[in-house]
């Protein structure tokens, strides 16, 4: 049988518990996550310099979409069984089928590491680059700022207006200039 994908709405901050419980019941579950740096135990009444020095950063995985998980079922009539879990509040719609192609694209982006904001950038500010694709393909410039390891602010030389132009793009769109 083919698997039909649905979107479930979970209780607040219970996405991971719901995913584990549904998986234990035999459902296919997909919970897209992002990986970020976090400082556990940081209190607002501490001076910021003291906070940052005393508590080390650690990688934390958190849901990409608050309160949403994707549930795969072979039998479309099995959704009432899935809502019997306390962490699952309801399904969206009757429930409504999720487009498989869109879900597989989301899984591919997740596997590629698109939402891993903990990777250290191998690029540096001030480095000379060339745009590899997009509307500014073959334009050269230099990196001004790196954001979250995957986005970068680049100052390109606009050949038409003969002046610099700042653009925000993905690191995948850049090539190093020798």
CATH at residue 137: 2.30.30.30
In a domain? residue 9:
yes
Query: Among residues of the chain, what percentage have pLDDT more than 70?
Result: 88
In a domain? residue 99:
yes
Q: What average pLDDT does the segment 59-77 reach?
A: 91
Give the count of domains, the chain: 2
78, 18: one domain: yes
pLDDT value at residue 72? 93
pLDDT value at residue 52? 54
Q: Is the pLDDT of residue 36 over 90?
A: no
pLDDT value at residue 161? 80
Mean pLDDT across the chain: 84
Q: Is the pLDDT of residue 42 over 60?
A: no
Q: Is the pLDDT of residue 57 over 80?
A: no
Q: What is the CATH number of the domain that holds 37?
A: 3.30.70.940
Q: Is the pLDDT of residue 11 over 90?
A: yes
Domain finish residue from 112, 138, 159: 112
33, 69: one domain: yes
Q: What average pLDDT does the segment 55-63 reach?
A: 83
* Residue 176's pLDDT band (cuts 50, 70, 90): confident
Distance, CA of 155 to CA of 145 (rounded, Å) = 9
Q: Is the pLDDT of residue 29 over 90?
A: yes
Q: Is the pLDDT of residue 44 over 70?
A: no
Q: Quote the domain boundaries for residue 134.
A: 128-176
In a domain? residue 66:
yes
* Residue, of 66 and 94, whose pLDDT is higher: 66
Q: What average pLDDT does the segment 2-14 reach?
A: 92
Domain finish residue from 112, 139, 166: 112
Report the largest interatomic distance among the alpha carbons of the chain, rounded to a whole angstrom. Answer: 64
Q: CA of 154: how far to CAs of 143, 147, 160, 167, 175, in Å?
A: 4, 11, 17, 5, 12
Q: CA of 111: how far to CAs of 27, 29, 41, 115, in Å?
A: 21, 15, 30, 9
Half-sphere exposure of 12 toward its Cβ, with a 13 Å CA cutoff?
A: 0
Cα angle: 125, vertex 130, 135; to 5 degrees: 115
């Amino acid at each position: 049988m083919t698997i039909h994908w649905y979107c479930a709405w979970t209780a607040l901050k219970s996405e991971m518990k719901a995913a584990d419980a549904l998986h234990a019941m035999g459902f296919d579950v997909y919970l897209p996550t992002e990986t970020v740096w976090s400082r556990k135990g940081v209190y607002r009444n501490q001076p910021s310099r003291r906070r940052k020095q005393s508590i080390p950063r650690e990688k934390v995985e958190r849901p990409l979409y608050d309160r949403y998980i994707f549930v795969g079922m072979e039998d479309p009539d099995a959704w009432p069984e899935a809502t019997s879990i306390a962490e699952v509040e309801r399904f969206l719609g009757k429930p409504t089928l999720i487009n498989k192609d869109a879900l597989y694209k989301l899984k591919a982006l997740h596997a590629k590491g698109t939402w891993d904001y903990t990777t250290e950038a191998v690029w540096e500010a001030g480095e000379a680059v060339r745009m590899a694709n997009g509307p500014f393909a073959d334009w050269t410039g230099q990196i001004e700022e790196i954001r979250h390891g995957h986005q970068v602010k680049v100052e390109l030389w606009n050949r038409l207006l003969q002046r610099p132009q700042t653009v925000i793009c993905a690191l995948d769109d850049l090539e190093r200039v020798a």
